[in-house]
Amino acid sequence: MAGGAHFDGGTTKDYPGKLTGFVLLTCIVAATGGLIFGYDLGISGGVTSMNPFLKKFFPSVYRKETADTSTNQYCKFDSQLLTAFTSSLYLAALVASFFASYVTRKAGRKFSMLAGGIIFFAGAALNGGAKDVGMLIAGRILLGIGVGFANQSVPVYLSEMAPARYRGMLNMSFQLMITIGILIANLVNFGTNKIVGGWGWPVSLALAAIPAAIITVGSLFLPDTPNSLIDRGHDDAALNMLRRIRGTNDVEEEYKDLVVASNESKKIKHPWANILKRKYRAQLTVAIMIPFFQQLTGMNVIMFYAPVLFKTVGFGANASLYSAVIIGVVNVIATFVSIATVDRFGRRTLFLEGGTQMFICQLIVGTMIAIKFGTTGEADIPKWYAILLVLIICVYVAGFAWSWGPLGWLVPSEIFPLEIRSAGQAITVSVNMFFTFGIAQAFLAMLCHLKFGLFYFFAVWVFIMNGFIYYLLPETKNVPIEDMAIVWKKHSFWGRFIDDDQDNNGKPPHTPEV
């Protein structure tokens, strides 16, 4: 175990209570916040490849694409203008997550989810009825703000509501909704692409209003988390809520710990200055590196460009869309694997297994493309070869879907103490959005220049991130969220950053029963 470099989870405390139907329901409703992000991730690639959409909003791109007769498959689909449009959403989300962190801390997690839903709804309406590029971009910015608010508040909400023993499972329902959103969007595009008369794109864009309505209405009925209620001075309501979600009156110990955490939190007026303190170096590093690495797995290259990639290796337009749908299905199903295992096997096991699986697949895909396309980018590949390639990409997607996908949202949301949890999550969202934007923007140019080496490029990153997890990420399974400081304190590397009197929210440290 890496020279004792990590703390092997176990339980610090085991509060009484069970997984109640009520907490399950609230978590499922809150997780639907992931649908809006997923729908957007899945819809834009398809819409921006529809000719009527291009003709109306990006005529220059359309002309260029139809005039392009080059046979070099690596450099075929390059249009920065279009990717800039797609990516504007991620930049808006990046900025919005900082505002969301303030709202989430001051007004509660529920309020941010509601705000996210309403703003996303407005964006969908504007986009569906867009008459010019201005409306289109304004709509995308609103969608981005909605995503920023939802992604900042939902993971924190889920991690706080869940009993420690089921936190991984419940939090991952967020990622499950993201993957369902992506799949639905792929199917919608598949259908609207067939609409004659050129009005497929507004249907695809306007349908985003449905997931927006689900999270908006859903969040109206959601209770706030006990942690946030105490933090905002509603102690009685918090105690009642805790009893309700744990299904027992015996919540004294957990309640007391929440109050201690909240007292610490109240002393902090400036979470942003606080998060930079030496004692939070571990959490801050993880909150930045996890979303950065998640994007450097290269998953979004597959998500955004699967149809393009499959066209590149010789599938027809329809077959490419089918393959994208197959990948979407694999993504959803494989997410269940991590939901079922994360609280038993732990975060580290899933991270390391998924990472290894992705690494091997990337090497194979890179090599298979190298063998056929070489550096000229010209090839005629047999059907069986293309099918094999899709199969290996599916194994890669499964690896992501039970590791970096869900864990990329779970881990950052469960490692911070209450006073800086909102700020920490905003950092995670913004880093995630920044690199989602960066990869989307750079992919086509990278494919053109790195060619098959693009897959080796991501493989190297996956190798590095496995090392990061192995040496620097302690196991957090089953540890109560307001007790998390002990995990960092026990870690042989990160422990050095924490003085004895600073750990565990000022509470005396207690020894974990492993």
Q: Which residues bind ligand BGC (CB under 6 A)?
A: 41, 175, 178-179, 182, 294, 299-300, 303, 331, 405, 408-409, 432, 436
Of 261 and 332, the one with the shorter C-beta distance to ligand BGC is 332
Count of residues in the chain: 514
**Angstrom distance (rounded) from CA 292 to CA 286:** 10
Q: At what angle do helices 453-472 and 418-450 cross, to 10 degrees?
A: 160
Query: What backbone torsions phi and psi does residue 513 show, to the nearest 5 degrees?
Result: -90, 115
Of 289 and 299, the one with the shorter C-beta distance to ligand BGC is 299
Of 436 and 478, the one with the shorter C-beta distance to ligand BGC is 436
Of 408 and 512, the one with the shorter C-beta distance to ligand BGC is 408
Of 171 and 262, the one with the shorter C-beta distance to ligand BGC is 171
Q: How far is the CB of 465 from ligand BGC (least distance, A)?
A: 14
Q: How far is the CB of 35 from ligand BGC (least distance, A)?
A: 12
Of 12 and 44, the one with the shorter C-beta distance to ligand BGC is 44
Q: How far is the CB of 57 from ligand BGC (least distance, A)?
A: 24
Q: What is the dihedral of CA 399, 400, 402, 403, to 10 degrees?
A: 110
Rg of the chain over CA atoms, in angstroms?
Answer: 23
Q: How far is the CB of 407 from ligand BGC (least distance, A)?
A: 9
Residue 413 has which token pair? Answer: 């949301």
Residue 11, strand partner residues:
513
Half-sphere exposure of 229 (CA within 13 A, CB side): 17
Of 306 and 418, the one with the shorter C-beta distance to ligand BGC is 306
∠ CA 227-94-201 to the nearest 5 degrees? 115
Q: How far is the CB of 179 from ligand BGC (least distance, A)?
A: 5
Of 125 and 325, the one with the shorter C-beta distance to ligand BGC is 325
Write out 302-318 in H/E/C secondary structure: HHHHHHHHHHHCCCCHH
Q: How far is the CB of 299 from ligand BGC (least distance, A)?
A: 5
Of 227 and 432, the one with the shorter C-beta distance to ligand BGC is 432
Instruction: Please state, as a whole number, how many other Cβ atoms lie within 10 Å of the Cβ of residue 327.
Output: 24
Q: How far is the CB of 454 from ligand BGC (least distance, A)?
A: 17
If DSSP codes are grouped into helix, strand and coil, which group holds residue 11? strand
Closest CA to 153 of 210, 186, 107: 107
Query: What backbone torsions phi and psi does residue 449 show, to the nearest 5 degrees?
Result: -90, -45
Q: How far is the CB of 223 from ligand BGC (least distance, A)?
A: 26
Q: How far is the CB of 2 from ligand BGC (least distance, A)?
A: 26
Residue whose token pair is 């998953």? 299
∠ CA 178-181-187 to the nearest 5 degrees? 145
Q: How far is the CB of 404 from ligand BGC (least distance, A)?
A: 7
**Angstrom distance (rounded) from CA 298 to CA 446:** 12
Instruction: Give 305-310's long-range contacts (Cβ < 8 A, gap of 24+).
Output: 305/45, 305/443, 305/444, 306/45, 306/393, 307/45, 307/46, 307/49, 308/45, 308/49, 308/77, 310/386, 310/390
Q: At what angle do helices 347-373 and 404-414 cross, to 10 degrees?
A: 140
Q: Read off the amino acid at residue 169.
A: M
Are the beta carbons of 455 and 362 closer than 8 angstroms?
A: yes
Of 455 and 488, the one with the shorter C-beta distance to ligand BGC is 455
Of 108 and 148, the one with the shorter C-beta distance to ligand BGC is 148
Q: How far is the CB of 233 from ligand BGC (least distance, A)?
A: 34
